[in-house]
Amino acid sequence: MSSITKHFVLGSFFLLFGFLNSEYLADTKNNSIINLFCIESFKLEMLKANLNYDEEIAKGTCNCYLEKFRKGTSHQNSINECKLETKKNFKL
C-alpha cells in the first residue's frame, strides 16, 4: 500500500471517528438540555396543580418523554402520552 493511500485511509478513519464522536456528544448534550427543560416544566406543572414535587416522578416522566420523542413521536404527543402514563403509574 502506498504512503498516500495509507494517509488517506488513516485520515478518513479519524474524520469518521471524530464525526461519530461529535454526533454522540451533541446527542448527549441535547438530551441533557431537553431533560433540564422537562424537569423545570414538570416542577411548574406540579406547582400549578398544588402537588408536591417528587424527583422520582419527574425523572420517570422526563425519561418517558425523551424515549418517545427519540422514537419519532411528536413533541406534543410525547407530552400527552407521558402525562397519562405518569398519572396512571403514580396514581396522580
Residue 84 lies in domain: 3-90
Count of domains in the chain? 1
Q: Is the pLDDT of residue 83 over 50?
A: yes
Angle at the Cα of 68 from the Cα atoms of 34 and 91, rounded to 5 degrees: 95
Given pLDDT bands bounded at 50, 70 and 90, which one contains residue 82?
very high
Q: pLDDT tens across 11-68, in order?
A: 444 444 454 444 554 455 456 788 888 999 999 988 898 989 999 999 999 999 989 9
CA–CA separation, 17 vs 74, rounded Å? 31
Given pLDDT bands bounded at 50, 70 and 90, which one contains residue 76?
very high
